[in-house]
């Protein structure tokens, strides 16, 4: 997990700090403290049971989370399969804000979509962008090798943003609405990216049943995104564009369905029943309920 995220971040132009690779001579605690001070984002990878050990005041997991809080870092949680966030009251007082942090579920099946969501919520910019400003501040990642937690640290912004205190109720309502709209768009785009990730795995000319399943799952995610958008009318900007993409995908689906049915019929004509059943099975994955008559017309050709 650490290696995959390290590789993905580096490919985007981030320089990654990994303790087993980057800590040199000198006091380990001082180097970790300095690394956290110099970074802006603190990615906390939450593996099952990792927060249980934080009851120990000397625990390094607890110590580094506290440092990140102390230095005002953007803490983003990444929840691995099996992790359950404990209730705040069960945690040490210093860590009771952890359940309120942003936490994104890492899906091994949809890892690219999961990664994109994490990157979207980082405050840091990549080295590629900073080089244009001749600013070579580093991006760090710190991994604690206790099989319980991983910390990813990213650089300080060159421009500091001041907290804005808003007292006017109307302005607060506008800000809350903007936050809500952003959350809706983020969710909509996340569902789309999941669909895109699935569709990218499908070859141009699929023949394997698994490929057809992935294709239909990708279409299903597009439909899920549009269904979500319809529940939030006027908020999601690119609904019309996604509708066009879905129409195009449905056209591709229909042509693939016809191809598989034609292939099944052809194999039946030459008594290759096993091949025919395989192609008909692919058609069953692609077919919609309203296409049952078309399916039955070919299905009746199979020997009893």
d(CA 21, CA 42): 18
Residue spans of the domains in the chain: they are: 2-155, 171-299
Q: What is the pTM of this model?
A: 0.46
| pLDDT confidence tier of residue 136, bands split at 50, 70 and 90 | very low
pLDDT score for 290: 94
Of 137, 114, 113, 134, the residue nearest 125 (C-alpha): 137
Which single residue is written with the structure tokens 């789309």?
192
138-171 pLDDT tens trace: 444 444 333 333 444 554 444 444 444 445 676 7
Distance CA 261, CA 238 (A): 35
Distance of CA 108 to the CA centre of its chain: 9
Give the residue-averaged pLDDT of 223-244: 87
Mean pLDDT along residues 67-84: 85
Q: Are 78 and 44 in contact (CB under 8 A)?
A: yes
DSSP readout, the chain?
-HHHHHHHHHHTT-----HHHH--SS-HHHHHHHHHHTEEEEEEEE-TTTTGGGGSTT-HHHHHHHHHHHTT-EEEEEEPTT--PPPGGGS-GGGTTGGGSEEEE--STTHHHHHHHHHHT-----HHHHHTTT-----EEEEETTTTEEEEEEEPPSS---------HHHHHHHHHHHHHHHHHHHHHHHHHHHHHHHHTS-SS--SHHHHHHHHHHHHHHHHHHHHHHTSTTT-TTHHHHHHHHHHHHHHHHHHHHHHHHHHHHHHHTT-HHHHHHHHHHHHHH--GGGHHHHHHHHTTS--
Alpha carbon separation from 300 to 54, 89, 272, 289, 295 (Å, rounded): 65, 64, 15, 17, 9
Pairwise CA distance, residues 272 & 109, whole Å:
36
The confidence score (pLDDT) of residue 112 equals 80
Q: Is 117 left (phi over 0), alpha (psi -120 to 50) or beta?
A: alpha
| 245-248: Cβ within 8 A, 24+ apart | 246/219, 246/222
Is 80 exceeded by the pLDDT of residue 14? Answer: no
What is the pLDDT at residue 142? 46
pLDDT tens for each residue of 262-284: 999 999 999 999 999 999 999 99
Q: Which residue from 5, 70, 10, 60 is spatially nearest to 36, judged by alpha carbons? A: 70
Q: What is the pLDDT of residue 128?
A: 46
């Amino acid at each position: 997990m650490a290696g995959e995220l390290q590789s993905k971040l580096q490919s985007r132009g981030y320089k990654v700090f990994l303790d087993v690779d980057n800590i040199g001579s000198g006091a380990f605690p001082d180097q970790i403290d300095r690394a956290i001070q110099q970074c802006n984002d603190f990615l906390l990878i939450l593996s099952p049971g990792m927060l249980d050990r934080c009851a120990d005041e000397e625990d390094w997991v607890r110590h580094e989370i506290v440092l990140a809080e102390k230095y005002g870092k953007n803490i983003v949680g990444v929840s691995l399969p099996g992790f359950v966030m404990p209730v705040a009251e069960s945690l040490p007082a210093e860590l009771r804000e952890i359940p309120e942090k942003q936490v994104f579920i890492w899906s091994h099946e949809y890892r690219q979509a999961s990664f994109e969501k994490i990157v979207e919520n980082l405050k840091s910019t990549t080295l590629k962008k900073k080089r244009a400003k001749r600013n070579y501040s580093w991006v760090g990642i710190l991994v604690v090798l206790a099989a319980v937690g991983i910390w990813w640290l990213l650089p300080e912004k060159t421009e500091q943003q001041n907290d804005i205190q808003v007292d006017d109720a109307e302005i607060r309502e506008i800000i809350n609405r903007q936050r809500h709209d952003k959350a809706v768009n983020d969710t909509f785009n996340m569902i789309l990216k999941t669909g895109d990730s699935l569709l990218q795995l499908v070859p141009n000319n699929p023949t394997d049943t698994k490929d057809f399943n992935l294709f239909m799952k990708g279409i299903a995610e597009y439909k899920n995104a549009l269904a979500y958008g319809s529940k939030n009318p006027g908020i999601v900007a690119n609904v019309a564009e996604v509708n066009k993409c879905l129409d195009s995908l449905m056209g591709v689906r229909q042509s693939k369905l016809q191809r598989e049915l034609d292939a099944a019929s052809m194999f039946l004509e030459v008594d290759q029943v096993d091949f025919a059943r395989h192609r008909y099975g692919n058609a069953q994955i692609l077919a919609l309920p309203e296409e049952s008559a078309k399916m039955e017309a070919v299905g009746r050709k199979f020997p009893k």
